[in-house]
């Protein structure tokens, strides 16, 4: 089992460009999450998907969209990147919502110039 995988590992964008971060899990988990990590701020939830076909906003959803393509895959899209979106992005999955343990991918380091 690979667990949670993310692509790409690194990305540099110019302001206004768009891109999609990919995430996949092979643990048959129902719930998936996108977080961003900024220095001194811990991780903050951007969007989550309780189950296939549903998505909900987290703490910091502005400037992002998500797609739960199927049970395995959950993508995060930046339509018009801004320097404030420079961050490390983590995808996570869990068997269900609420108290189930979340398992994290290795992260995508995004820089917006």
Partner 1 sequence: GEDVEQSLFLSVREGDSSVINCTYTDSSSTYLYWYKQEPGAGLQLLTYIFSNMDMKQDQRLTVLLNKKDKHLSLRIADTQTGDSAIYFCAESYNQGGKLIFGQGTELSVKP
Task: Give the interface with partner 1 as residue ranges (CB under 8 A).
Answer: 4, 31, 33, 40-45, 48, 50, 56, 58-59, 90, 92, 94, 96-107
Q: Tell the smallest beta-carbon distance from residue 41 to partner 1 (Å).
A: 6
Q: Rank residues 17 and 73 by Cβ distance to partner 1 and give the closer one.
A: 73
31 and 48 in contact (C-beta within 8 Å)? yes
User: Rounded distance, CA 13 to CA 38, Å?
Assistant: 17
36 and 60 in contact (C-beta within 8 Å)? yes
Q: Rank residues 59 and 79 by Cβ distance to partner 1 and give the closer one.
A: 59
Q: Where do we find the tokens 């999450």?
A: 33
Q: Tell the smallest beta-carbon distance from residue 102 to partner 1 (Å).
A: 6
Q: Tell the smallest beta-carbon distance from residue 43 to partner 1 (Å).
A: 4
Q: Tell the smallest beta-carbon distance from residue 80 to partner 1 (Å).
A: 26
Q: Rank residues 29 and 78 by Cβ distance to partner 1 and give the closer one.
A: 29
Contacts of residue 71, defined as CB under 8 A and 6 or more positions apart, other chains included, come to 28, 29, 30, 52
* Among 107, 111, 78, residue whose Cα is nearest residue 7: 107
Q: Rank residues 14 and 39 by Cβ distance to partner 1 and give the closer one.
A: 39
């Amino acid at each position: 089992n690979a667990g949670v995988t993310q692509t790409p590992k690194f990305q540099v964008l110019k302001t206004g460009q768009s891109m999609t971060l990919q995430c996949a899990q092979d643990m048959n988990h129902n719930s998936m999450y996108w977080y961003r990590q900024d220095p001194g701020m811990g991780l903050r939830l951007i969007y989550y998907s309780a189950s296939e076909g549903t998505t909900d906003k987290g703490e910091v959803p502005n400037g992002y969209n998500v797609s739960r393509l199927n049970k395995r895959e959950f993508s995060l899209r930046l339509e018009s990147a801004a320097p404030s979106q420079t961050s490390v992005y983590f995808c996570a999955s869990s068997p269900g919502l609420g108290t189930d343990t979340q398992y994290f991918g290795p992260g995508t380091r995004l820089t917006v110039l």
